[in-house]
Amino acid sequence: MSVVLEGDGRLAGGLVLPARKAQSASLPIAETPLPAELIYPLGADAGGDTEPAVRLGEHVLGDQPLVRARDGQPVLVHAASSGRVVAIEPRPVAGGEALCIVIEVDGRDERLACTPPNEALLRDSETLEATLAAAGLAGLGGAGFATGAKLAAAQRQGLRALLINVAECEPYLSCDDRLLRERAPAVVAGTRAMLTLTGCPAAVFVLEDDKPEALAALEAAIGQCPDATALSIVTVPTIYPSGGERQLIALVTGEHVPAEGYPPDIGYLCHNAGTAAALATYLETGRPLTRRIVTVTGGGVAQPRNLDVRLGTPIAELIRVCGGYRPEVARLIVGGAMTGRAIACDEVPVTRSTHGVIAATAAELGNRGETVACIRCGECAEHCPAGLSPQLLHGATRRQDDTGLADLGLFACIECGCCDLVCPSHIPLTEQFRVAKRRVWLGEMERERARLAEARYAAREHRLAQRLAEREAALERRRRAARDPAASSAAIADILRRARGDNDPGSRDA
């Protein structure tokens, strides 16, 4: 194969975490029955903003787009089944509330007729980006970046290698593991499609070394491909967060993505295995993305397992399918244990980026204990996979020293949570950095607004001063005219002439 892999397979920093994957990884993926309601938050993504494309009371079919672009080119959302729009109102989502389109499912599960896209047209990067955004394809690994935008950027910039991320480094999660075990051919098909679309010569599947069954299934699927030489597999040690995009690229290739740039800048592109499978499904059927695999697990749920879920399904439904809660349940987490969000109620719907639902018990969560002052032990820096010094960032967040925060690389923080787990002072570092980032962003926006307002104010002041000066000058002219008898009689004559209706400017000058 044509790609040179020079990564030493060693992550800078990171942590060996309790895996807790076995409980959910042992059972096959199960289908989730059609829920009574499907809930779709209206969202914005890096590509643009959306607005509802359906009216209250409207009947919708499965695969019908529910939103349209308000600006830019956002990834669209589609109904996962047929039914009636019964509400467009704020509903709880991970991280708060958002305007949602709620569909009461009619149980007939009728769908729009779809035709596969013309792959030849997708060679044009703008068409590719627009088509995949309209088909609802976004990264299923958690970050949810638009698949079309990533592939289009890669198509334009040219790739040395495509990395398919199956590291699945977060504890508890096993959806990618199960996906490979059960549907490796779809992942390989999607990967090959990505190679074709981007004109990339080689793809590398990257797995953590704790998934032997997935590895075997993947090898078998690759073995059945005609162009198997373009596809290879690399296993990396099971160290969190090896599956972070930048960390994965460094692990495998030995190269660092520039802090201000993206992987295609250095010739690589990283896609999650689930995204590859979703792309394959779309290219084959033309049907948009309306389902994903979700790991439902934790000591607080009766039967942990992976579910094939329609997007929009409330999490309560997933828990029900898994046998309900155990009495010990203490916290409900959407996403992984390291980066996921705790939610206050289980009416939150599954979205594209919901790779896991963890019903955790108090024992699994541990007791964080009292936060005390930083003792500068530097363990956070030893474990930071982004090469940061969280202990210094912590000081700068306390001082609200935004320049210091930027100098220390706050925006290179991937919010992986490693520093929190090794901090003997139990400081919620990751949360502090999240808040600080938001504050700096808001501050920048505020400064920009202030700058515009100041410019507007200055322009207005200037305008007013100019008008005043003009008025003063006119007044002065008139005063001078009043003092000058010749001029004043001429003016009187002028007025008289105008009163007679003779306002020919030529005669006035005469």
Partner 1 sequence: MRFETAAAPHLPVQASVPRLMRRVLWALAPAAAAHLWFFGPGLAFNLTVAVVTALAAEALMLRLRGRPLGPGLADGSAVLAAVLLAFALPPLTPWWITATGSAFAMIVAKHLYGGLGYNVFNPAMAGYAVVLVSFPGQLALWSVAAPGGLAPPALDVGQTLAFTLTGRLPDAVTLDAITQATPLDAMRSGLAQLQTLSEIRAVAPFGGPGEQAWLWINGLIALGGLWLLWTRAIRWHIPVAMLATLALLSAVAAAIDGDRFPGPFLQLFSGAALIGAFFIATDPVSAATTRLGRLIYGSGIGALVFAIRSWGGYPDGVAFAVLLMNLVVPLLDRHTRSRPFGT
Closest residue by Cα to residue 21 from 149, 178, 133, 148: 178
Distances (CA, A) of 60 to 102, 109, 318: 11, 10, 23
* Position 218, amino acid: L
Residue 171 sits in the site that holds partner 1 (CB under 8 A)? yes
* Position 440, amino acid: V
Enumerate residues 6+ apart whose C-beta is below 8 A from 316: 346, 347
- Among the listed ranges 80-88, 115-123, 343-351, 448-456, the one in contact with partner 1 (CB under 8 A) is 343-351
Residue 69 sits in the site that holds partner 1 (CB under 8 A)? no
Site for partner 1 in 104-163 (CB under 8 A): none
Q: What is the dihedral angle through the alpha carbons of 266, 271, 273, 276, rounded to the nearest 10 degrees?
A: -110
Cis before residue 241, ω within 30 degrees of 0?
yes
Enumerate residues 6+ apart whose C-beta is below 8 A from 457: none
What is the contact mask toward partner 1 in residues 424 to 463, using x (rule: CB under 8 A)? xxx-x-xx--x-----------------------------
What's phi and psi for 431, nearest 5 deg?
-65, -40
- Among the listed ranges 82-90, 252-260, 477-485, 495-503, the one in contact with partner 1 (CB under 8 A) is 252-260
- Taking the least distance from each CB to partner 1, the nearer of 424 and 443 is 424
Q: How far is the CB of 237 from partner 1 (least distance, A)?
A: 18
- Among the listed ranges 129-137, 215-223, 381-389, 488-496, the one in contact with partner 1 (CB under 8 A) is 381-389
Residues found in the chain: 510
- Taking the least distance from each CB to partner 1, the nearer of 286 and 428 is 428
- Find out whether 24 and 302 touch, Cβ atoms under 8 Å: no
Parallel/antiparallel/unpaired status of strands 329-334 and 356-361: antiparallel
- Among the listed ranges 33-41, 205-213, 259-267, 472-480, the one in contact with partner 1 (CB under 8 A) is 259-267
User: Which of 77, 133, 421, 436: binder of partner 1 (CB under 8 A)?
Assistant: 421
Closest residue by Cα to residue 67 from 83, 84, 82, 55: 55
What is the contact mask toward partner 1 in residues 395 to 414, using x (rule: CB under 8 A)? ------------xxx--x--
Residue 372 sits in the site that holds partner 1 (CB under 8 A)? yes
- Taking the least distance from each CB to partner 1, the nearer of 288 and 340 is 340
- Taking the least distance from each CB to partner 1, the nearer of 1 and 316 is 316
Helix (H) or strand (E) holding 79: none
- Taking the least distance from each CB to partner 1, the nearer of 147 and 425 is 425
Residue 387 sits in the site that holds partner 1 (CB under 8 A)? yes
Residue 232 sits in the site that holds partner 1 (CB under 8 A)? no
User: Which of 28, 327, 367, 483: binder of partner 1 (CB under 8 A)?
Assistant: 367
